A and B are shown apart, each in its own frame.
Chain A
Amino acid sequence: GAVVSQHPSRVICKSGTSVKIECRSLDFQATTMFWYRQFPKKSLMLMATSNEGSKATYEQGVEKDKFLINHASLTLSTLTVTSAHPEDSSFYICSACELAGYETQYFGPGTRLLVL
Chain B
Amino acid sequence: GDSVTQMEGPVTLSEEAFLTINCTYTATGYPSLFWYVQYPGEGLQLLLKATKADDKGSNKGFEATYRKETTSFHLEKGSVQVSDSAVYFCALSNARDDKIIFGKGTRLHILP
Which chain A residues have a beta carbon within 8 Å of chain B's beta carbons? 34, 36, 38, 40-41, 43-44, 46, 49, 91, 93, 95, 102-105, 107, 110, 112
Contacts and interface: CB of A to CB of B under 8 A. Distances in A.
B44 A44 contact: yes
Given A36-B44, A41-B32, A105 B99 contact: no
Classify the secondary structure of B's interface with A.
Answer: strand
Given A43-B34, A91-B99, A110-B100, A103 B40 contact: yes
Given A43-B49, A103-B87, A103-B107, A110 B99 contact: yes
B112 interface: no
A41 B93 contact: yes
Classify the secondary structure of A's interface with B.
Answer: strand
Contact of A43 (B38, B46, B99): B46
A46 B44 contact: yes
Given A49-B43, A91-B100, A102-B41, A41 B95 contact: yes
Q: Identify the 5 closest CB pairs spanning chains A and B, nearest first.
A: A46-B43, A34-B43, A43-B46, A102-B41, A102-B40
Interface in B40-96: 40-46, 49, 87, 91, 93, 95
Contacts of A49: 43
Nearest to A90: B98
B100 A105 contact: no
A22 B98 CA distance: 20
A91 B98 contact: yes
Contacts of B38: 102-103, 105
16 contacts: A41-B95, A43-B46, A44-B34, A44-B44, A44-B46, A44-B91, A46-B44, A93-B100, A95-B44, A102-B41, A102-B42, A103-B38, A103-B87, A104-B87, A105-B87, A105-B105
A49 B45 CA distance: 13
Contacts of A34: 43-44
